[in-house]
Amino acid sequence: MDQLTAQFISLEGSEGAGKSTAMNVITALFEDWQVPFIQTREPGGEGNAEQIRELLLHSDHLEAKTELLLMFAARNEHIVKVIRPALAAGQWVISDRFVDASYAYQGWGRGLQWQTIEYLEQLVVGNTQANLTLLLDVDPELGLERAARRSEKDRIEQENLRFFENIRSGYMQRAKAYPNRIKVIDANLSIDAVKLQIENVLRDFKSDLLKV
């Protein structure tokens, strides 16, 4: 696959959707295909951005606009220092969350205006957009139940069910608006069934690239 331009793939979904499982499935496929790649995440993925992540997830309280600005501040460091250089060097990038999360969480979840998010997206992301986004869609109750079994909750995870229902609606609206890029995975199913869906999407994505 080294004749192909490096691709940028993002993973999205609300709490407990199974993004870590998805990451493992994709990395196994890429190893099999011998694609050079890096794994990264948002907020974070770079030294300064990881410090901002700490503030975002573990502060006692943050104003919604502060939260949004910090997400984009971390994203700017991540894009400039990690994502763009990796793509330029021919490495594929798999990011656990990217800009769709800001629309879902800060837009739908916190109720901040689209125009503000769009402005920040233009400023920070520009044309460094994901080529493919896997949206792991899970019923929020099931997702919260899974996540509760996993670890202690951070600041954002302490929100109520209604908040996560709004996030889910936000993500589904994004999927409707960008059907070519965002592929919805039914993450309510068993891990094996989810894995199969992800592999199918990735195989289709690869064969489309080979056709171009």
The binding site for ligand Z5A (CB under 6 A) comprises: 13, 15-21, 41-43, 71, 96-97, 101-102, 105-106, 146-147, 149-150, 156-157, 187, 190-191, 194
CB of 85 to ligand Z5A, least distance (A): 20
Residue whose C-alpha is closest to residue 73's, from 125, 38, 110, 131: 125
CB of 2 to ligand Z5A, least distance (A): 30
Query: For residues 6 and 13, which CB has a smaller minimum distance to ligand Z5A in the complex?
Result: 13
CB of 151 to ligand Z5A, least distance (A): 7
CB of 96 to ligand Z5A, least distance (A): 5
Nearest position to ligand Z5A, beta carbon: 18
CA 157 to chain centre: 16
**What's the first-to-final CA gap in the chain, in angstroms?**
13
Query: For residues 186 and 204, which CB has a smaller minimum distance to ligand Z5A in the complex?
Result: 186
Cα–Cα separations (whole angstroms), residue 91 to 3, 23, 151, 182 = 12, 16, 32, 21
Query: For residues 141 and 208, which CB has a smaller minimum distance to ligand Z5A in the complex?
Result: 141
Query: For residues 1 and 57, which CB has a smaller minimum distance to ligand Z5A in the complex?
Result: 57
The structure tokens 């609206």 sit at: 173
CB of 57 to ligand Z5A, least distance (A): 6
Distance, in Å, from the CA atom of 7 to the CA atom of 131, rounded to the nearest integer, reads 6
Q: Which residues of 196-211 are buried (b: 16+ CB within 10 A; e: fewer)?
A: ebbeebbeebbeeeee
